[in-house]
Structure 1
Amino acid sequence: MSKHRSKLEINGTQGTLAAILEKPGPHPKAFIIYAHCFTCGKDSLAASRISRGLVAQGYAVLRYDFAGIGNSEGKFEDTNFTSSVDDLVLVAQHLKENYQAPAILIGHSFGGAVVLGAAGKIKNLKGVVTVAAPSKPCHVIKQFAQFEDEIQANGQADVLLSGRPFIMKKQFLDDVYSQNQDETIRKLKTPLLVFHSPRDTTVLIKEAEHIYGYAMHPKSFISLDPADHLLTSSKDAAYVASSVAVWAEHYIDDASNH
């Protein structure tokens, strides 16, 4: 394993967050945080491939398991969108205090909504990237829509997400429904890069159009045709990594000056 690959434990809202920081060497161009898709984890194909692709391009990338996922502490059923945003802010703070402040945030699917929610709470960001992201956090409820009435009535329900059992609580629904993501996107003060595939059947491309429409310039859109939602093809992940690397060059300063 590379000597520039470190396993980190970062204090989050629900306990310790398990993270991996990969660096190309002692002087990366910039530090990036990668937020994974809903229930996916830091070791998902998209997360690991995109991160390593960016490391190969000279960037340091930190990816972490959301609370209650993978090796991170906490109970998934006690998390929500707000706590996920707060955790991302804490991860950014950890990077700033121990390495270097993150320049770029990348979020896949629900993680894309999270990075949009966190961007305004993290100082000195140079850019935000969403991959197959919904325009509103409540979009994720589609994944367990048949249980929504039960959750509202009983306070919680046992659901299957990507074939795995999870408990979803009413507090999660209340939290995602309370978000004004349109206003959050409109107030975004950092350059935005939106990736989406017109063939995505989990999060339709109209979600990307909505994000792009509400965001102020500078903003960019890149089509991921013919990718699927999870970017299961290594070519699609490599395309995202190489595109982000080139795009970010426009906005990052020489890290040695900071």
Structure 2
Amino acid sequence: MERAITIQHGTIELKATLHYPTIPPQDAEKQGGQCPLIVICHGFIGSRIGVDRLFVNASRKFAAAGYMVLRFDYAGCGESTGEYGEHGLDSMIEQTRVVLDYALDIDYVDINRVALLGHSLGGAVALLTAAQDRRVKTLLLWSAVAHPFNDLLRIVGQKTYDDAVRYGEADYMGYPLRPAFFESLSAHQPFAQIRKFAGDVFLAHGTSDSVIPADYCSLYQKLFWMRSAGQCDIELIFQADHTFSSGDSKRDLYDKTLQWLEYNEKRKRDWHNWEI
């Protein structure tokens, strides 16, 4: 079952879709009637639908595997009100935490199994949120941005940035980008926040990504492994582009993500039961 909802964030209405898990009753009983949660964070000027329905299909796949999934539009994107990037990444982090507040208020969500799934810039936002919010136990990062300012500048072009600085606003594909947005990109460095997150991480990247370098994936993994706690695994999707646009790429991405989630749950149970 899917339900369209609105989450209030100050004067902004964040439009979202909630996917309820469709698991057999015996499996629900094994989990004490509670289910794990995945909150999806879309990328730069994206939406909760995703390019070629990336997040719609993912949510339905995860829900069929027993997950509660919540995908939402950041302010100024999709159906949400407000202006995109008006208050920069700080606002996006706060919006993500407000969405977590809503989701974790659902009775049958397991507060010990909460994952943020972020794609592209949403991957950076997910990591920055998890570094501040201990309710997040797991990160699923797809084609994640590593250097917000440089990566976004490469996407929008130098002229867009120069116009924003010179005129106080620049149009990019119909979205008004202001200097404050670019300043916030410079102020946040995901790599510097990695040590603040002690949970487990799954990284996926397409080998043919021409937007965000696939090399970021292995660099992220190295830095996550330098932490004192938490696991990190990587999956490179052969010939996949930035948005995993082909059917094979999507299926591979969804399957690998779900396989890792199941493997990680088993790994945690095995370690929990292990005693010296």
**TM-score, normalised via structure 1 length:** 0.88
Separation in structure 1 between the aligned mates of residue 11 and residue 202 of structure 2, nearest angstrom: 30
Q: Alpha-carbon deviations, 1:218-252, whole Å to 9, x = none? A: 10000011111111123322222222222223248
Question: Which deviates more from structure 2 when the two are superposed, residues 176-185 or residues 64-73?
Answer: 176-185
For residues 78-103 of structure 1, give each alpha carbon's deviation from its aligned partner in whole angstroms, at most 9, with x where no partner exists: 14211111111110111111342461
Q: Is the 8 A contact 2:19 2:63 kept in 1?
A: yes
Question: Partners in 2 of 1:33 and 1:211 — Cα distance?
Answer: 21
- Aligned equivalents of 1:112, 1:78: Cα separation in 2: 19
Q: Which moved more, 1:245-254 or 1:230-239?
A: 245-254
Q: Name which of structure 1's ranges 244-253 and 228-237 shifts more when overlaid on structure 2.
A: 244-253
Equivalent of 2:231 in 218, 234, 254 = 218
1:137 Cα deviation (Å)?
Answer: 2.1
Moved more, 144-153 or 20-29: 20-29
User: For residue 196 of structure 1, what is the aligned residue in structure 2?
Assistant: 205
Contact 1:16-1:72 at 8 Å conserved across structures: yes
**Is 1:130 aligned to 2:127, yes or no?**
no
SS, match of residue 13 in structure 2: strand
Q: Residues 73-125 of structure 1: CA distance to partner in whole angstroms, max 9, x if unpaired? A: 11115142111111111101111113424611111111111100111233343
Q: Match of 1:57, as an amino acid?
A: A
The CA RMSD over aligned residues, in Å, is: 2.0
The equivalent residue for 1:52 is 60
Identify which of structures 1 and 2 has the higher relative contact order when contacts are C-alpha pairs closer than 8 Å and 6+ apart.
1
2:208–2:239 CA contact under 8 A, matched in 1: yes
Deviation at 1:51, TM superposition (A): 1.3
Residue 141 of structure 1 corresponds to: 153
Deviates more, 1:20-29 or 1:146-155: 20-29
The answer on 1:117 being equivalent to 2:128 is: yes
How far apart, CA to CA, are the structure 2 residues paired with 1:235 and 1:46? 12
Alignment-derived partner of residue 22 in structure 1: 19
Segment of structure 1 superposing worse, 144-153 or 112-121:
144-153
Residue of structure 1 equivalent to 2:251:
238
3-state SS, counterpart of residue 235 of structure 2: strand
> How high is the TM-score relative to the length of structure 2?
0.83
Structure 2 Cα separation of the partners of residues 207 and 157 of structure 1: 28
Structure possessing the higher radius of gyration over alpha carbons: 2
Unpaired stretches in structure 2, ≥5 consecutive residues: 29-33, 270-276
Q: Choose the corresponding residue for 1:82, options 79, 90, 111.
A: 90
Tell me, yes or no, if the aligned pair for 1:136 and 1:181 is still in contact at 8 Å: yes
Q: Deviations over 1:26-72 (max 9, x none)?
A: 84641110111211201121111111111122211110011111111
DSSP-derived class of the 1:158 partner: strand
**More moved, 61-70 vs 180-189:** 180-189
**Percent identity (aligned):** 21
Q: Is the 8 A contact 1:53 1:238 kept in 2?
A: no
Q: SS of the residue aligned with 2:69?
A: strand
Size of the aligned set, in residue pairs, is 247
Secondary structure, aligned partner of 1:184: helix
Contact 1:92 1:122 in 2 (8 A): no
Shift, 1:172, TM fit: 0.3
The answer to whether structure 1 residue 169 and structure 2 residue 181 are counterparts is no
| Equivalent position SS for 1:129 | strand
Equivalent-residue separation in structure 2 for 1:239 and 1:63 (angstroms): 20
- Which amino acid in structure 1 is aligned with residue 47 of structure 2? G
Aligned-partner residue type, residue 68 of structure 1: G
The answer on 1:206 being equivalent to 2:179 is no
Query: What is the Cα deviation at residue 179 of structure 1?
Result: 1.1
Q: 2:43 corresponds to which residue?
A: 37
Opposite residue 86 of structure 2, the aligned amino acid is: D
Alignment CA distance shift 1:214-1:14 (3 Å): farther
The answer to whether the 8 Å contact 2:146/2:189 transfers is no
Distance between the aligned counterparts of 1:43 and 1:179, measured in 2?
26
